[in-house]
Amino acid sequence: MNADSLYAIRRAEQERQLGLEDRILCCTVAGCLSGRAAAVRASIQEQIDLQGRGGKVEVCGTGCMGLCCEGPLVRSSAADAILTKATPADGPALAAGDWNHFGDRVLPPDHPFFAGQRRIILGNSGHSDPERFADYVARGGYQSLLCAATEMAPEEIIAEVKKSRLRGRGGAGYPAGLKWELVARQRSPTKYVVCNADEGDPGAFMNRSVLEGDPHRVLEGMAIAGRAVGAQQGYIYARGESPLAIARLRTALEQAQREGLLHGQMFDSHFCFRIDLRIGAGAYVCGEETALLASIEGKRGQPVPRPPYPPESGLWGHPTLINNVETFANIPTILEKGGDWFASIGTPTSPGTKVFALAGRIVRTGLVEVPVGTPLRTILYQLGGGVPEGHQFKAAQTGGPAGGCIPAQYLDLPMDYDSLTAIGSMMGSGGLIVLDSSSCMVDLARFFMEFCMDESCGKCIPCRAGTVQMHDILARMTRGEGLTSDFEILEQLAGLLKETSLCGLGLAAPNPVVSTLHHFRQEYEAHVHEQRCPAGHCRMTVQAEGIQ
């Protein structure tokens, strides 16, 4: 493919879409699909054929529109509105474009859920078909790669990424530009670019939605990274539990190869880049970069001590750039609109947007993309619609098993890397779970510790034995068998794991305990001293006298 053929595809697809009276986009990512979105789509197609509107109206799939709790969602480009809770019975009206028919099931684009968002990574979701190459190109796709491959020098690309001050979206927030520069500086004929798509945090489905809804964006970001750091080969390490994301990636890869983008020299330049898919097999620790690399090499996913860091010695000992799905997904837009534009969004230290997955006790659950630094209150109450009536907000859990809880007094906290770390939580990959008074914080800490205990790879002793010890104590507490001395032991173990574990899993495993002990100590005390669970969740084997 060369520049002219890319423009030709773009123009042809844009003209084709302009010629349509209506384009009906059905959400076809995992959430809506479990709500029978496929049957809705089939019904619309059947009605289009029946009504003889074949050439004028088109129905296709699209990425996550965010409001998963109201799914299946269907968007019409002509009506510029979204239909919630669609059923196959809506097919005739949708095919005919009769939107008055649906009453209050229609959401306007200025609905509070959408109005507070700023969509960059999810920009194409709801507007384009993830399984159609031309659709991505029509919306400006692969333009940035064209520019990177033919007009920009690698140093210029890195300078632009540095200017954007983009921070890695995997959780730790390391500046992406610096990492790219490190890899680019290595003198090695073989280098690799790896996309970490092993999104294992329970409660997180951001990366999966990006891959399902806009896979080409991630491929483009990776190829640009390859050009910038001088790599010829890329790997995507995808989570085995997300079959749809894997299928969409496979389709996108085949399309890109067929079009000559990820196969041979692209755009008549000297740059070649190939991407292969590697499927994980269910090990949380493989989200850790050295464990992930071991897994790509076909080994047990066990981490190795750093340094050397992957930018110096990664896959098969060669310099390797590893970034998260969301980090790569930002790259095409950064090149298109410039680093300065990106840096103007969000906060000065953490620019850009972040995708959060809202779940738990909240009115509107789903996926939102907001500028980094948006207060938690805005996300939960304006976008999420607040806590359902009859329930009371207790805490928001962020960062999964490596994160912590944010209690009510921090509702106005800006959601950025540094503010969250300061109060003992972390951004993590973006899972945001709202807990109410029926959730027991001691049991939640136990739940996460059990997770880390199961997922510990067993290589280093602090993590392998420490998580078991901590879990035993927490389990005892939830049974009402905790001892006063347990508090001190828990704190000691937490310190030990943090100081001496080999990798991020063990190092962060105590976080949920430390955070809940800090913010909800009275709940722990009620369990230990009074054999009472304030949330009414834990079943005590030992009953305190006079307390039911």
Partner 1 sequence: MIPAEPREKTLERVMSRHQYSGSALIEVLHAAQQLYGYLSKPLLGMIAHKLRLPPSKVLGVATFYHLFRFTPVRAHTAVVCLGTACYAAGGTELMSTVKRRCPESEWTVQTGRCVGSCGLAPVVICDGEALSRVTPESLERQLVGRPST
Binding site for partner 1 (CB under 8 A): 30-31, 33-35, 68-69, 71, 199-205, 208, 240-242, 278-284, 295-302, 357-361, 365-367, 397, 400, 431, 433, 435, 439, 444, 447-448, 457
Helix (H) or strand (E) holding 242: none
Give residues with Cβ within 8 angstroms of 225, minimum separation 6. 180, 193, 231, 234, 321, 323, 328, 331
Shortest distance in whole angstroms from residue 512 CB to partner 1: 10
Nearest to 517 by CA among 479, 482, 542, 545: 482
Shortest distance in whole angstroms from residue 457 CB to partner 1: 8
> In degrees, to the nearest 5, what angle opens at C-alpha 331 toward C-alphas 215 and 14?
60
Give residues with Cβ within 8 angstroms of 316, minimum separation 6. 297
Does residue 92 have a cis peptide bond before it, meaning omega lies within 30 degrees of 0? no
Count of CB atoms within 10 A of residue 487's CB? 17
Shortest distance in whole angstroms from residue 438 CB to partner 1: 8
The Cα-based distances of 166 to 175, 248, 340, 362, 374 in angstroms read 6, 26, 11, 30, 16
Closer Cβ to partner 1, 454 or 530, answer by number: 454
Shortest distance in whole angstroms from residue 383 CB to partner 1: 13
| Amino acid (one-letter) located at 288 | E
Nearest to 260 by CA among 272, 251, 250, 248: 272
- Provide the β-strand partners of residue 366: 358
Closer Cβ to partner 1, 54 or 243, answer by number: 243
Give residues with Cβ within 8 angstroms of 409, minimum separation 6. none
Shortest distance in whole angstroms from residue 426 CB to partner 1: 15
Shortest distance in whole angstroms from residue 374 CB to partner 1: 19
Closer Cβ to partner 1, 360 or 510, answer by number: 360
Closer Cβ to partner 1, 3 or 304, answer by number: 304
Nearest to 73 by CA among 122, 123, 136, 29: 29
Shortest distance in whole angstroms from residue 414 CB to partner 1: 23
Shortest distance in whole angstroms from residue 277 CB to partner 1: 9
Closer Cβ to partner 1, 33 or 370, answer by number: 33
- The radius of gyration of the chain from alpha carbons, rounded to an integer in Å, stands at 24
Beta-sheet pairing, 74-76 with 81-83: antiparallel
Closer Cβ to partner 1, 276 or 488, answer by number: 276
Reported as half-sphere exposure (CB side, CA atoms, 13 A), residue 330 has a value of 30
Closer Cβ to partner 1, 71 or 466, answer by number: 71
Shortest distance in whole angstroms from residue 244 CB to partner 1: 9
Q: Burial level of 228, CB count in 10 A (0-12/13-18/19+)?
A: buried
What is the distance between the alpha carbons of residues 319 and 77, in angstroms, rounded to a whole number? Answer: 45
Closer Cβ to partner 1, 199 or 326, answer by number: 199
Closer Cβ to partner 1, 373 or 399, answer by number: 399
Closer Cβ to partner 1, 142 or 356, answer by number: 356
Shortest distance in whole angstroms from residue 470 CB to partner 1: 18
